Chains A and B, each alone.
Chain A
Amino acid sequence: MKKKVINIAKDFSRYPYGRLRQYSNTSGEAFREDHLKPALFAFDEIMVEMDGTEGYGSSFLDEAFGNLVRKEKIDKAIILKKLKFISKDDPSLIDEINVYINEA
């Protein structure tokens, strides 16, 4: 089983912000296209470490995770099976992300 760890603060940015790449280099769209999508195609399990950033806005989270379903057309069941999360600073983020994926 091929596994990958993505630490958002280290691998992406401590300041995730905004929805679209055209307005922000650290947007949800940039994170989805550059990190999540390639990892979902190449690995069986992806551990996303949420701690260490300054926080997450709902538009960042929805664009990064919800749009894996809406825009990238990846099956919800595959996303939920492959993505695992660690969020010690704010555990409620995990429920929120799951809702964005399920409601997409």
Chain B
Amino acid sequence: MDITLKKWHKLHTQNIRKRENTRIERLKRRKLDLVSIRSKHSMRMHMKVPQVMSLFENYEETIQFINEISESIFKQELFVFLDFSQCKKISSETCVVLAAEIERCTRKIPRSVLGSYPQYAGVYHFLNELGFFHLLGIRSSKPTFDDLPEVDVVRLQSGQDNPEGLIKGIKELFYSADGIQPHSPYSGKIYRALTEAMANAVEHAYPDNFKKENTNTCMPIWWRAGFKLNDKNTVLMILYDQGVGMPNTLKTNWKEKIEELASTLAREPFDSEKLALAMEKGRSSTQVEGRGQGSYDIQKLIRESSRGTLSIFSYRGKYIYHNDNQWHHESLPLPLNGTLIVWQICLNALEREPNEEKSN
């Protein structure tokens, strides 16, 4: 047998094996009648991920890119391929928003999003630890890097119920730095802030009319993840939903207060102003005032840290709250699909917490 024939034989055998390996999946897809969906989406659009993906540093380009993914799939009926080769930096909150968008697309239309591995260690490590490449269905072998950043990650989770998984993961991030102890009052505050935000996301973010109007694209769940940036000794807790956004929820639930604000401003309030109004009660009231104070619980975790920041992005509004009770809001140039809450807490500052609690 000459060399060319041997080579051909080897390639042919490989192809047969490859086809055999995907046989079960192909049969499943045929059974689910997904062939027709595939033919509609015969084109796959190549999308280059921007160099800097960050809602804090490069909001407009980042959101434009993320929104284009779902627009291509659901409106233009084009499958997409995400090319990460030029992406040099991705921030933790953007990882969650991007992963959520991809999960929504691929759960509604399987394999609608494929992609490549990033070439930069930082981007790869963040996404890999989060479980991102599993969503993209990449089968090729993972790249190897020498210098990976020091980040501990609580993998991305999505759902409606059961805070158990997230709470365990998040607390491990805190305990590993001897920051807090289980069942301490501060540990209870972490639970309180996270579960209140999760409950709000499920109970208010997806009203019935929104779900009905968006049956083909809406997944009424939240996504959550945690990061510990070891070089900064900081823990980030992130919660995201793809609902109508807090400013739109307030139109119904806080109608009178919004009208009051509109008459004071003599114009329709911006989304960021509505957001600040919703958080106002949590800034000014005490724990023992009134009922069901979600915004109080969400901000209290930051207020009682020695160093921390709460950031909320919701539709066209952004609200930032610092531990010294300073806050500001601003309008966003493009709407975010839903609400993103980021708690950023410095562990060095937290280590003082148990003693402070005892002395009170």
List B contacts of A15 (CB < 8 A): 162-164, 167
Cβ-based interface call for B150 (8 A): no
- The answer to whether B163 touches A89, judged by C-beta atoms less than 8 angstroms apart, is no
Prevailing SS type, chain A contact patch: loop
Closest to B290 in A: A103
- The answer to whether B199 touches A55, judged by C-beta atoms less than 8 angstroms apart, is no
A66 to B293 Cα, complex, angstroms: 13
- Determine which of A25, A57, A62, A89 lies in contact with B195 in the assembled complex, contact meaning CB atoms within 8 Å: A57
Q: Looking at the assembled complex, report how far the CB atom of B202 sits from the nearest CB atom of chain A, in whole angstroms.
A: 5
Give the contact-size bracket for chain B.
20 to 34
- The answer to whether A19 touches B188, judged by C-beta atoms less than 8 angstroms apart, is no
Cβ-based interface call for A17 (8 A): yes
Q: Looking at the assembled complex, report how far the CB atom of B23 sits from the nearest CB atom of chain A, in whole angstroms.
A: 40
A51 to B183 Cα, complex, angstroms: 8
- The answer to whether A57 touches B183, judged by C-beta atoms less than 8 angstroms apart, is no
List B contacts of A23 (CB < 8 A): 160-161, 199, 202-203
List B contacts of A99 (CB < 8 A): 288-289
- The answer to whether B187 touches A55, judged by C-beta atoms less than 8 angstroms apart, is yes
- Determine which of A51, A58, A92 lies in contact with B297 in the assembled complex, contact meaning CB atoms within 8 Å: A58
Cβ-based interface call for A48 (8 A): no
If A17-B199, A99-B289, A103-B290 touch, does A89 touch B192 (CB 8 Å cutoff)? no
If A99-B289, A103-B290 touch, does A59 touch B196 (CB 8 Å cutoff)? yes
Chain B interface (Cβ < 8 Å from any Cβ of A): 160-164, 167, 183-185, 187-192, 195-196, 198-199, 202-203, 287-294, 296-297
Known: A17-B198, A24-B161, A59-B294. 10 other contacts (CB 8 A): A18-B195, A23-B199, A24-B199, A52-B183, A54-B163, A57-B294, A57-B297, A60-B199, A92-B287, A99-B289
